[in-house]
Structure 1
Amino acid sequence: MSSATLQDHPSVESFFNVVETETLALFEHLSFEFLEEFDVFAPAKMGRTRDLEPPEMMRGFLHCYYKNIYGIRPVARELNNTVVWLSCGFDRPPSRDAVDRFLTDLEHVVDRVFDHLVEQAALRGLLELTYSIDSTDVRAMPADPDASKCYDPTDDEYYYGYGCTIVSTGQKIPIAAEFTESKQAPEETAMRVTRDALAVEKPMWMLGDSAYDTLEWHDHLLTAGVVPVAPYNPRNTDDPKNIEYRVEDRIEKHSNDVQLKQSTLDETYNRRSGVERTNESVKGCGLGRTHARGRVHSRAQVFLALCLRLVVAITNYERGDNPGSTVITV
């Protein structure tokens, strides 16, 4: 039975006429045709041609992640549901091999797909003047050979997994990220993610916890015209200063004209809880626990979760709803 015939079938036509599905809403305001520009998705010059298009496959994965469906087999099974594959724009349901092939190809460019969606959020004015940076844990499957043994002080437990460093802004909008071996990311990662965030749009403030109390991070931001706010960690030196935030000392060295009141810094730092809410919302999109084995597959799932969070935020904005909401109301 062809897709045209299926679309004309009374039961399917009735479904689309009566019910506005969340899946249809997800793809109403965003085009995924840009995926066809990536070389990795180009049909082979010789041999088998591409039997399913990247935009449809991307929509299929976003639908599944929104429904908390992960893994090649479960995704392929879900995309064999007639209403689902029609909603995602397929001419026919994809095979398990096609699903696997697309995810393997996507792994090479998924961070660039994320960057594209960040640009779409920026064009809609969803970014604010305060950025926050933080790291979160990504739990792995027990059989994942690449996962690191990590410690969670909150629950006083060890687990196997990875980490993700995220810069967010506004209403739970991730704008830069990096997948890491563990939750505690090295300073090099923090600097790279910070530079990526500033490349999108320059904020007024950048907030971080005491883990970001480093000279390089502060000086880089101040040079860029951004005020960094991270609590001063006196354990980093044998001669601690009488300050609450590292920026108090750096401002004194960098500028004679700029002054920051303690109350202003306190009030600004209190906004840092926004990044924690972003982390939780992205975990709800699939970042919290990977359903793949190996670092490469896990990284792809993490960035797909970040992409979904942006798609949901943009969709809610376009529909006149709260961009910070993690669900789409239809």
Structure 2
Amino acid sequence: METETLALFEYLSFEFLEEFDVFAPAKTGRTRDHKPSEMMRGFLHCYYRDIYGIRPVERELRNTVVWLSCGFDRPPSRDAVDRFLTDLEHVVDEIFDHLVEQAAYRGLLDLTYCIDSTDVRTMPADQDASKCYDPTAEEYYYGYGCTIVSTGQKIPIAAEFTKSKQAPEETAMRVTRDALAVEQPIWMIGDSAYDTLDWHDHLLAAGGVPVAPYNARNTDNPKDIEYRVEDRIEKLSKGVQLKQATLDETYNRRSGVERTNDAVKDCGLGHVRARGRVHARAQGFLALCLRLVVAITNYERGDNPGSTVITV
């Protein structure tokens, strides 16, 4: 356990967290007992060990080997653990973006992006959560959703929390723009839920090729196409054609985002223990951060970045 924990932090520094004002001690009242970098290591260790929730995290960080490995001078109190998670809510997006940049710097991204939504199940006591329907599993669940763009070997590069698994088009567009800001892909793959004109035209204008199955919903005159991009290319780029076999082969790579979703759930997205959407979102992004840390750690150690475990 100690070796795995040390490996998680060997190649990445979390000292940049000191720069966020949200972690600064209050001008009056309490002083900060522990550095945010130490607390971040503590939470990543606990999530890696499938330990979630304020009380379980605080109990785990009482272990002498653990708190020493994470850089603490002494075990943090429950209030300190709770305070850090509350502060983290304000900057977790920026921490995630920083780790995405680190993955990109190491060449862990490729030129094919995939976008998909997954369920985020939480406790019935969470008053902000709602009863949602998962059409893939054909069942109802209690919680939220998360839209993720992934690439490479199970590498999440953009994400957003949603009210349910079925994300609105505005969220899909925002997450797509965030992904394009990381690096420019050749392909962007989504299922039929992403068969919208705005999504296709935005990607084509940015220089990427959207690949989503054509959905003939709400029309009396369906087009004779398999993918929406066939029609958009014909209208927007005269003389340019895409081979059907190429589109089929590309779309078959969509399973990559499903594997990413599973990997992120292994890192904590499938075990959200929070009350309130804000807390749930912070813990969800913490799971995304852990997935990136594990991938980068495995890469630096010469192991498979796609693995969800660190071999020691």
TM-score by length of 1: 0.93
Q: Which residue of 2 aligns with 1:71?
A: 53
Could you list the structure 1 runs, at least 4 aligned residues long, displaced by more than 4 angstroms after superposition.
none
Of the three residues 230, 237, 245, the one matched with 2:227 is 245
1:51 to 27, 30, 33: 33
Aligned-residue RMSD, C-alpha: 1.0
Letter in 1 for 2:138: D
Partner of 2:120: 138
Deviations 1:202-224 (A, max 9, x none): 10000000000000000000000
The amino acid across from 1:106 in the alignment is: L
Q: What is the CA-CA distance between 1:285 and the residue it aligns to?
A: 0.5
Indicate whether 1:182 and 2:164 are aligned: yes
Residue 268 (structure 1) aligns with? 250
| CA–CA distance in structure 2, aligned partners of residues 35 and 155 of structure 1 | 39
Please give the alpha-carbon distance, in whole angstroms, between the structure 2 residues aligned to 1:224 and 1:236.
28
Identity %, equivalent residues:
87
Corresponding residue of 1:6: none
Residue 286 of structure 1 and its aligned partner are, at CA, apart by: 0.6
> Aligned match of 2:24 in 42, 55, 67?
42
AA of the residue aligned to 1:318: E
Aligned to 2:132: 150
Instruction: Give the deviation of 1:154 after TM superposition.
Output: 4.0
Which residue matches 2:268? 286
Cα deviation, 1:210-253, whole Å, max 9, x if unaligned, reads 00000000000000000000000012422110000000000011
Q: Is the CA contact (8 Å cut-off) linking 2:192 and 2:213 kept in structure 1? A: yes
Q: Which residue of 1 aligns with 2:281?
A: 299
Determine helix, strand or coil for the equivalent of 1:200. coil
Q: CA deviation at 1:314?
A: 0.2
Q: 1:31 aligns with which of 1, 8, 13?
A: 13
Give how far 1:257 is off.
4.1
Distance 1:278 1:256 in 2: 36
- Structure 2 matches for 1:224-243, cutoff 5 A? 224-243=206-225
In structure 2, distance between residues paired with 1:329 and 1:100: 31
Give 1:46 deviation, angstroms: 2.5
Q: Distance in 2 between matches of 1:218 and 1:228?
A: 6
The AA in structure 2 aligned to 1:299 is R
Farther off after superposition, 40-49 or 160-169: 40-49
The Cα of 1:151 is off from its aligned counterpart by 1.5
Structure 1 counterpart of 2:109, one-letter code? L
- Counterpart in 2 of 1:16? none
Secondary structure of 1:177's partner?
strand
Counterpart in the other structure of 1:215: 197
1:105-133: per-residue Cα shift (whole Å, max 9, x none)?
Answer: 00111111101000000000001000000
Distance in structure 2 (CA, Å) of the matches to 1:222 and 1:157: 35
- Aligned residue type for 2:263: S
- Matches of 1:200 and 1:157 in 2, distance apart? 35
Q: Equivalents in 1 of 2:91, 2:195: separation in Å? A: 32
Aligned-partner Cα distance in 1 for 2:114–2:255: 9
Q: Which is worse superposed, 150-159 or 300-309?
A: 150-159
* Pairs aligned (count): 312
Q: Partner of 2:300 in structure 1?
A: 318
In the alignment, the residues of structure 1 paired with residue 242 and residue 199 of structure 2 have an alpha-carbon distance, to the nearest angstrom, of 18
* Structure possessing the higher radius of gyration over alpha carbons: 1
- The Cα offsets for residues 239-284 of structure 1, whole Å up to 9 and x where unpaired, read as 1100000000000111124221000000000000000000000001
The alpha carbon displacement at 1:143 in A equals 1.1
